[in-house]
Amino acid sequence: MNTLKMLYGLGVLFSILSGFFIRLEQAVFPWHKVPSWEAIFGVLGALLLLVGVKVVGIIVNREETFYD
């Protein structure tokens, strides 16, 4: 499990760092000028989805006597 977390962390780090070296030739939107914006947005979106799933899991897995 630790190896998988380390590989995930290295992938995220590589994605963010590569954004500083690879630039778009023509920015369509203002946020395209920010280096690594797409990678950071993707990582934050994935983390937000994971937290959302955990919260929904806590809400759904209530005791059977919850409504009694």
Higher-confidence residue: 25 or 53? 53
**How far is the C-alpha of 41 from the C-alpha of 49, rounded, in Å?**
12
Q: What is the pLDDT of residue 48?
A: 96
**pLDDT for residue 43 is more than 70:** yes
**pLDDT for residue 17 is more than 70:** yes
**How far is the C-alpha of 34 from the C-alpha of 19, rounded, in Å?**
9
What predicted TM-score, i.e. pTM, was given to this entire model? 0.65
